[in-house]
Homo-oligomer: A and B are copies of this chain.
Amino acid sequence: MFKYNSPQLTAVRLQDGFLAPRQHTNGKVTIPAAVQQCRDTGRIDAFRLQWCPGMPRKPHIFWDSDFAKVLEGMALQLMTDPSPELASELDEYVDLVISAQQPDGYLNTYFTQVEPEKRWQRLSSNHELYCAGHLMEAAVAHFQATGQRKFLDCMCRYADYIDTVFGPGPKQKKGYPGHEEIELALCKLYDTTGEKRYLKLAEFFVRTRGQEPNYFQVEEGVAAERLPALQAHRPVAEQHTAEGHAVRAVYLYCAMADLAARTGDAALLTQCEEIWSNITEKRMYLTGGIGSTPIGERFTIDYHLPHDGYAESCASIGLAFFTRRMLNLTGKRQYADVLERILYNGALSGISLIGDRFFYINRLESGIDTWERGETFAKERRPWFSCSCCPTSFCRFMPQLATFCWSCSEQELRLEIPAAGRAAFRNCQVEVQSQYPYNGKFRIIFHGQEQFTFSCRIPGWCPSATISLNGQRQEQEALQQNGYLSWNRLWQEGDELEVALDMPVEFVRADLRVSACRGRVAIRRGPLVYAVEGLDNAADPGALVLDLKSPWQPEPVPGLPEGTLGLRGQGWQECLPQDCGLYFSATPQWKQTSILAVPYSLWQNRGDTRMSVWLRSGNECCPGGII
């Protein structure tokens, strides 16, 4: 069982200067842009089922998932920013999707039009069940946003049909998706409809995965060495590390967490904890990115975290979903700490401030030494990709930002991330006033009267904090449990909590087994990881060395949103001899220089420039006076 729940989208609101504008932009720019791209590329028309061989804009196996994610985003956005225009546009698209359903309940534009004979033929690579899953998630969101059942019922018919095709029965396929997603979608469908068959089908897909005889190997001739990439190298019950394609992996782990919560399977929960720890303690970038190589967009091995690895936007978002589930299951602060890190760094870095450009991969260093491997590796964010999972992931991720800031149970409301905003809990409205993430001081004001436990997270990065309730200094130790301050009381109108989180500039190092980070430090303040961009500085980041002893102070950054604080400190620029060539043995010269760093998630919003998160540092108290 979940210890906590995410709040209803309609019960929370963001009013801060960092996240709220991005969420607003999602409705105004990102979703309309994605809809236009889906229209231009044929992803919408595909649902008219009028494509015939020889025609242009031939449907692709993953097209349905893109449009489904946009629809889910529209529904979620509708809950945060109600709009009649958006509502009617969504309604029109929903009717179009429903119209593509086949008499037997099947709904897939590619296999209905392009390869009808191939239905369910190659689960390991055809994305059929993956598309179904995203359509189901969209249908659930549409029901929650509008109360209309038509899309939900349509997807239940599809799920009912899939339930006849797959299962333990003699005539049923023992297969499971090559790209996980439907498992967690079926759990949502179960939560929404109460239909136990959906939960059982989700469990079937998860538990059958990797069992002997291996379905992908035996039925589809997939080579044994490719199975780990598909999380099908062994039964899920025997998986304890994060393997293979990062997005597929975290979607599977989301489903495992969902099943653990709904079936009370303690062993499955333990596995989720083990896998989450393997990711965050050995295979995650400082920014919350995951996936270290373009070869299979996958996890590799512990401590292999090259700066130009992969860290796909969708993978960070998926890790946020998995981590949110773990936070709900356990209530442990470590999950909120990582959730916050992903949110403020590796996830938002994938989308431009204007909201219509996206990174597919989020490298921690860019420059002419970063090999460009086509659109996926584009130096600057792009409007769309031939495989455009990332832009559409943002459409549905951004409306949920506010829900990551709060957790709730029957008796307790928890403030996980003190972004300015508000939450409705029972008869109370709880308001947060802050300049988070740039300032650690914030006020929590209670409106209404109600008895309940209110808790406030003291982030793992925070060395010390002072708290007062209605002006009374609170003893932290007395209140603190596992990183949360809690008060169980009858809250009164106007009650006010004041919290001041100490938010020093930190210089972060990595385990020496991370080759790329040896002799380098990253700059962090509060939840924000900082990056040095060439355009703010005298030289490319690669030529700069930080002086850790100099004072590093927040300062506004020209060209970034009002309120954005960079960090300025001192350092040196390495100057090489003229025409020294590729390799040389002369000693470089050093020039004192001032260095400005900006929040990583906001980099590359002022034109193409070189960037580095991990920088060399000097002035260490060690024999050579070096790092």
Contacts and interface: CB of A to CB of B under 8 A. Distances in A.
B542 A518 contact: yes
A508 to B, nearest CB: 5
Contacts of A441: none
A453 interface: no
A225 B295 CA distance: 18
A588 interface: yes
A281 B373 contact: no
Contact of A625 (B304, B373, B619): B619
A39 to B, nearest CB: 26
A55 interface: no
Interface stretch (A123-131, A197-205, A577-585): A577-585
Interface stretch (A81-89, A96-104, A362-370): A362-370
Nearest to A571: B624
Nearest to A547: B624
Nearest to A283: B582
Contacts of A586: 509
Nearest to A546: B624
A434 B282 CA distance: 50
Interface string A179-219: 00000000000000000000000000000000000000000
A368 B513 contact: yes
A452 interface: no
A592 B624 CA distance: 9
A622 interface: yes
A478 interface: no
Contacts of A371: 292-293, 300-301, 304
Interface string A343-374: 00000000000000000000001011111111
- Binding site secondary structure of chain A: loop
B626 A545 contact: yes
B520 A542 contact: no
A624 to B, nearest CB: 3
A306 interface: yes
A542 B582 CA distance: 23
A536 interface: no
Interface string A503-538: 000111111111110111010100000000000000
A190 to B, nearest CB: 36
Contact of A506 (B506, B580, B585, B589): B585
A140 to B, nearest CB: 35
Interface string A586-602: 11111010000000000
Contacts of A590: 622-624
Nearest to A504: B585
A540 B623 CA distance: 19
Contacts of A370: 304, 515
A329 to B, nearest CB: 22
A586 B586 CA distance: 33
Contact of A515 (B506, B542, B572, B622): B542
B368 A301 contact: yes
Contacts of A616: 518-519, 626-627
A457 interface: no
Interface in A255-305: 280-282, 284, 286, 292-295, 300-305
A244 B507 CA distance: 40
A620 interface: yes
- In this complex, the member of A292, A300, A302, A585 whose beta carbon has the largest number of chain B beta carbons within 10 angstroms is A585
A576 interface: yes
A462 to B, nearest CB: 12
A380 interface: no
A52 interface: no
Contacts of A585: 506-509, 524
A133 to B, nearest CB: 30
A369 B582 contact: no
A291 to B, nearest CB: 12
Contacts of A304: 369-371
Contact of A624 (B295, B519, B572): B572
A580 B511 contact: yes
A574 interface: yes
Given A295-B295, A301-B368, A513-B542, A587 B284 contact: no
Interface string A204-247: 00000000000000000000010000000000000000000000
Given A302-B368, A519-B520, A580-B511, A625 B625 contact: yes
Nearest to A300: B371
Nearest to A619: B624
B574 A512 contact: yes
Interface string A609-627: 0000000111111111111
Contact of A572 (B280, B308, B582, B622): B622
Given A618-B626, A620-B626, 6 more contacts: A280-B582, A292-B371, A303-B582, A509-B586, A572-B624, A619-B626
27 contacts: A292-B371, A294-B295, A295-B295, A295-B373, A301-B369, A303-B369, A306-B306, A367-B515, A369-B514, A507-B585, A508-B584, A508-B585, A510-B583, A511-B582, A513-B542, A515-B542, A519-B545, A547-B624, A572-B623, A592-B623, A616-B626, A617-B626, A618-B622, A618-B624, A619-B624, A626-B626, A626-B627
Interface of A: 225, 280-282, 284, 286, 292-295, 300-308, 365, 367-374, 506-516, 518-520, 522, 524, 540, 542-543, 545, 547, 572, 574, 576, 580-590, 592, 616-627
